Structure 1
Amino acid sequence: MANPRSPFLAIIWSLSAALLMSILPLPDALQAWRPEWVMLVLIFWVMHAPSWVGLWFALVMGLLLDAFLASPLGLHALALVLVIYVTRMTQRWSGVFSVRQTTALVFLLILLERSLTYAVLSVRGEVPTDLSYFLPAAASALIWPTVLLSLRRWTQR
């Protein structure tokens, strides 16, 4: 019986790439459509390697994202931890869901994350001006099948 290979390097590599894609500059017209890369990659790893990635990983990645994006400390960390908690609760379903169903689930999870950050920013008095604040949820749902297929090969034994 072959030993299962460890996804540790793939997790570190993919999360580093997600952090990089989250901070790369985009033209102003595309800025509102930037997918939530870190959230997508964390959701994938929680669904496919739950013993490796969990709430502590989400907390650390959220704090790194806060530092890189110069957002209030804990803003993304809180949202990532709460969404990853919900993802862990729905992790059993993802094994039987089709790609369309997991795409819908990812859309709802990222919409939850955007709603949480919207609520926190509203409490701070920094309310985003329009509903384009929620466009990354749609962009992330559109890019999810690509993320799923490109990272899935690292989980196959």
Structure 2
Amino acid sequence: MWIKSGLLPLLLSYVIALVLMVMPIPTFLEAWRPDWVSMVLIYWLMAIPHRVGVTTVLVMGLLTDILMGTTFGVYATGLLIIAYFTLRHFQRIRNYSLVQQTLVIGLLILGKRLIVYQLEHFLNDAAFHWSYLYPVLSSMVLWPWLFLVMRGYRRRYLIR
């Protein structure tokens, strides 16, 4: 039943995104780690907005806060704000070319990173380093690949 409805494959994609956020990578690449949770959520918000909404984004954001060890709710707030823009404009973004989508993804993730930084700065007096924005670039580079993989995954498991 869960597989037929597409719920299990959908949940599996969230788990994979969370694992990729904490999976060990070489130290010199750590600053470039893409924002997997944001990209996966943006994809699902564009592809099936009637099934993935604000509640899903909030839960994923809080799970990411716990997983990353950030102040509870900071990551969730950033994700909720980009989810609003994605849900508001999903039909337009869906019709963009892959290059245009990549630019939109970059802007959304940049906005989320700046919001999370501002909240961390306000709550924990975090210092800004330019390396904090490297995931924006790596996410943009990986978006076309992720989009194509996720679309194939959605079609294979009939997630609607």
TM-score for the superposition, normalised by structure 2: 0.90
- Partners of 1:128 and 1:87 lie apart in 2 by 29
**Any stretches of 5+ residues in structure 1 without a counterpart?**
none
Aligned to 2:99: 100
**Root-mean-square deviation over aligned CA pairs:** 1.4
Name the CA distance, whole Å, in 2 between partners of 1:153 and 1:28. Answer: 32
Question: What aligned pairs does 1:19-98 form with structure 2 within 5 A after superposition?
Answer: 19-98=18-97
Residue correspondence of structure 1 range 69-148 to structure 2 within 5 A: 69-148=68-147
Q: Report which of the two has the higher share of helix.
A: 2
- Larger RCO (alpha carbons 8 Å, 6+ apart): 2
Q: 1:95 to 1:125 in 2, by over 3 A?
A: closer
Unaligned stretches of 5+ residues in structure 2: none
Deviations 1:72-116 (A, max 9, x none): 000111111111111101101123200001111100000000010
Count of residues in correspondence between the two structures: 153
CA contact (8 A) 2:17 2:37 kept: yes
User: Deviation at 1:130?
Assistant: 1.4
Structure 2 distance, partners of 1:118, 1:37, is 18
Q: CA deviation at 1:140?
A: 0.5
Q: Please tell me the residue identity of whatever aligns with 2:105.
A: V
Q: Distance in 2 between matches of 1:52 and 1:138?
A: 29
- Between 31-40 and 129-138, the greater mean CA deviation after superposition: 129-138
Indicate the SS of the match to 1:35: coil
8 Å CA contact 1:8, 1:52 repeated in 2: no
* Distance (whole Å) between structure 2 residues aligned to residue 147 and residue 112 of structure 1: 20
Between the aligned partners of 1:23 and 1:75, the Cα distance in structure 2 is 17
TM (norm. structure 1) is 0.92
Distance 2:60 2:9 in 1: 15
Q: 1:21 deviation in Å?
A: 0.5
C-alpha distance in structure 2 between counterparts of 1:54 and 1:93, whole Å: 17
